Structure formats: C-alpha cells, structure tokens
Amino acid sequence: MSKKLITLFFAISLLLFGFSLQRFILTYKFSTTEVVKNINYLSSDVFKGRLAGTLNNEAASVYIKSQFEKADIKPLFKTYYENFNVTYPEKIEGSPHLSVLDKNGIIIKNFEYNKDFKEDTLSFKQNHLSFSKVSSTAVGNDFLKIKSGNNICVLYAPADNKLSFRSSFDESSKLALIVVVKKDVLKTIKEYLEKDDSIDCFIPYKESNANIHNVVGYIKGRDQTLPPVIISAHFDHMGNDLSGNIYSGALDNASGTSFIIEMAKYINSLGTPDRNIIFAGFNAEEFGFKGSSTFAKDYSPKLKGSKVFNFDMIGGRSSIPLSIMGSKNDNKNTPLVKEISNICTSSDISYSYIFQNSSDHTPFRNLGIDAVTFCDDDTSRIHTTSDKSAFIDKTSIQKCYTVASKEILTSAFTKNPLVLYDKLILIFSGIGTGVCIIYIISLKFTKKKLN
C-alpha cells in the first residue's frame, strides 16, 4: 500500500474515531434505574392516583413539566400546557351507604363499604338510588338493572367476586350509576326485595367539569417542513376510593410517563434531529383518550405523515412478551407495526400483537396517522390498588428501550449515520486507528533495526 493511502486511511479513522468517541461520551445513557425512580415518585401517595380533574393530577402535570424542563425539552405551544375541559367524577360530602329498609322505611340492614359494596367509577349521572321489587327492570344471576326516573342504574357482582377493580370513567355512559356488590350481598338484596323491602343507596360522587392539560414539549429538528415524530404516554390514573385507598397506577401509566421522560433526556443528547420530535404527556386517557384526542384534533394539520410512538404499561413481568398495539382495524402487515416487529425479530426480543382501541394511539389511527402503543400486557394488577412500583421489572423497560429507540432514531435521524450507526462506527474507526498505530510503530521498529 502506498504511504499516501495509509496516511489517508489513518486520518479518516482517527477523525471518525474522535467524532464517535466524543459523541459516545456526550450521549446521555438511557437508565432504567432513573425510569424506576420516576415511577416510584409518580406512583407515590403524593399524587394519590393522579385522577384527571383533581389537584393531584394537576401536581403530576407540574412535575412532568419540570422534568421536561430539566431535559431541556422546549414547550411546543406558548407554554407546556395544552388545556382542555373534561367531565370527571368528583367526590362530594357524605358517606356511602347501601341499606335495606322495611315497609315503614326503617333501616333493617346496612352493608359495609369496600367489604360488601363499592362504586363502579364508570358513571355518576346519579348518586342516590332507592328501589323496590317493582323498579327492578331486569334481574340476572349476577346483576340487577333498576329503572330510576329516566335513568338506568345497575348493581352487579363481578365474576371474580372482588371489589378491587376500578373502571375507567365514561361521561357518555348510558348507565347513570353502577354499584359493585359481592355475590352473597346481591343474593341477600334479592331476597329482601322478594319480601317487599326496599333498598337505598348513596355514593358520594358527582360529575363535574374541570379544565386540565396535556404536557407537551419538543426538540426542534432541522427541517420544519417534515412531519414530526411523536413520543407519548398518559400520566393520569384512577385516583383513590372513598376509604382513601390509592390506585397508584405504577405500571398504568407512571411507567410510560417515566419512560418518555428518560427518552427525552437520551434523544436530546444526540444532537439535532432531521425533524421535530414531540414529547407528549397525555391526560385523561382513562376517561376515553380525552387528552390525545384533543392533541390529535388541534394539531392534525401538522401530523400528516407523522409517526406516533405511545407507551402504556412498560415494565411488566419479564416473562411477558413486549406487545405492539395497533388499533382494531390494523393487522401485523400495517407498515409501522411491521417495522417494529422486524426490529424485535432482529434484536431477538419476543413480542406479541394487540389490535385494540385501548390506548392513546387510537385517536391518531382514527385520523389515518401511523401510531402504535408499546405495552407490557400484564393485566394481573391493572386498575387495582396493587398496581405498585414494587412490581415493576427493569428488564422489560430495557427491552422496550432497545426496540423503541431503534425505530425512533431511524424515523428522526434518517440523515445522520453518526447517530444511526454510532456503535459500529466507533468500533470500526477504533480498530482502524489501532491498526494504523501498530503499523507506524512496526515501521519505525524495522527502520531502527536496519540502521
């Protein structure tokens, strides 16, 4: 090889090695420990279950905003907040009761809250219900359907006979009040009704309005004409019950929220992306994707050609495969779903598909925008008080990072091989530099010997 060629090879190797080493040192290393720290905090009693509409939910949004600021993510709008109105279940004065009254209106039995009965948080169009045998419009094995004025209310016993599951709230529910009862309680109530006694029930909640917000920031890309990449997670959860038991929502979805905060720190250390990367903490997902629907609608003119990567329940049991969730009209050949499954295969990470409209990818898919939710489909503790951070598995967070970061970088750093192939370039330029140094030393050594 000519001396010139060797010098050129050495110069290129050294330059590339220098660049990629500097990049490697400056790149923030995604840390599952940091993710877990944030999960611990967001699911702690400080935020009391982050129910949209409450001050605890507001406090969570303030915290997420502070984390975006710390990661040097700029506000997408004038502020980080995108405001919208929601109807939410608000606690009111009073104690819950479910009582049996005799023909004279005297209470002959009181059932115990949280042991015998509990609210189902689906709907509170009505919070007081009195009924007798005649007002029960339908009687099933495990339910009683009651006509109350123009409303329909329901008492039901869940299949697992537990009161622990807390439903998402749905302002459009056709039912006015739903009360969960134990199987034996339902049986007892039916017996009393047969004897012409009546039932009186009060659940101290009402439906109220509140102005809440999504928390949205972004990293500015080189080309403002390109559609942005969106990285999102909902931060709201189901609050706490009338005895103060907190639904911490560690997996659902302190985990996804903490994951995108860490992603923001990592991606922001990589330099300027080709296009804008938006980080969105969505609110009121548990009320039917209210926050993501607001964002998708308000921002839709700019979203044509965008890709949305949503994270909901990241850090479930490691034995569970990573789920790629598309909408109910998607399938495994939907382009974005396919791209991600290919990455799973090449990274040797087991995965499964879910095609459901059950997270914040839904409003985007409804507008024809590419969107998926990464999810650990670990439903064992979901919407119960045992969804605690102690059960979060770091291995699953790392798996999700491996897959998601590859797809996100490919989408947002298309023109930057130093980011896309950082490790390969570092290794090969390192080897090249090493070879050149050895070659130069050996040349000097032979020269000395000849002299």
The span of 67-75, 156-164, 304-312, 419-427 binding Zn ion (CB under 5 A) equals 304-312
357 burial (CB, 10 Å; 0-12 / 13-18 / 19+) is middle
CB of 63 to Zn ion, least distance (A): 18
CB of 240 to Zn ion, least distance (A): 17
Residue of 312, 360, 376, 393 that binds Zn ion (CB under 5 A)? 312
CB of 59 to Zn ion, least distance (A): 19
Strands 370-376 and 107-111: unpaired
Half-sphere exposure of 106 (CA within 13 A, CB side): 2
Does the footprint of Zn ion cover residue 252 (CB under 5 A)?
Answer: yes
Does the footprint of Zn ion cover residue 253 (CB under 5 A)?
Answer: yes
Nearer to Zn ion, 233 or 264 (CB): 233
Count of other CB atoms within 10 angstroms of residue 309: 25
User: What SS3 class is residue 332?
Assistant: coil
The span of 117-125, 209-217, 253-261, 334-342 binding Zn ion (CB under 5 A) equals 253-261
| Contact (CB, 8 A) for 285 and 360 | yes
The span of 155-163, 249-257, 381-389, 417-425 binding Zn ion (CB under 5 A) equals 249-257
What is the total count of residues that contact Zn ion (CB under 5 A)?
3
Nearer to Zn ion, 253 or 292 (CB): 253
Count of other CB atoms within 10 angstroms of residue 2: 7
DSSP result, 357-399: S-STTHHHHHTT-EEEEEEE---TTTTSTT--GGG--HHHHHH
Rounded to the nearest 10 degrees, the angle between the axes of helix 394-412 and helix 255-268 is 50
Does the footprint of Zn ion cover residue 262 (CB under 5 A)?
Answer: no
Question: Which whole-number Å values give the CA distances from 217 to 64, 72, 237, in the listed order?
Answer: 10, 9, 21
Nearer to Zn ion, 252 or 393 (CB): 252
**Continuous segment of H or E residues that includes residue 50:** none
Q: What is the CA radius of gyration of the chain?
A: 28
The span of 24-32, 153-161, 181-189, 244-252 binding Zn ion (CB under 5 A) equals 244-252
Does the footprint of Zn ion cover residue 293 (CB under 5 A)?
Answer: no
Question: Would you give the binding string for Zn ion spanning residues 196-235, x where CB under 5 A is met?
Answer: ----------------------------------------
Question: Would you give the binding string for Zn ion spanning residues 2-41, x where CB under 5 A is met?
Answer: ----------------------------------------
Nearer to Zn ion, 312 or 378 (CB): 312
Count of other CB atoms within 10 angstroms of residue 59: 14
Task: Name the site residues for Zn ion (rule: CB under 5 A).
Answer: 252-253, 312
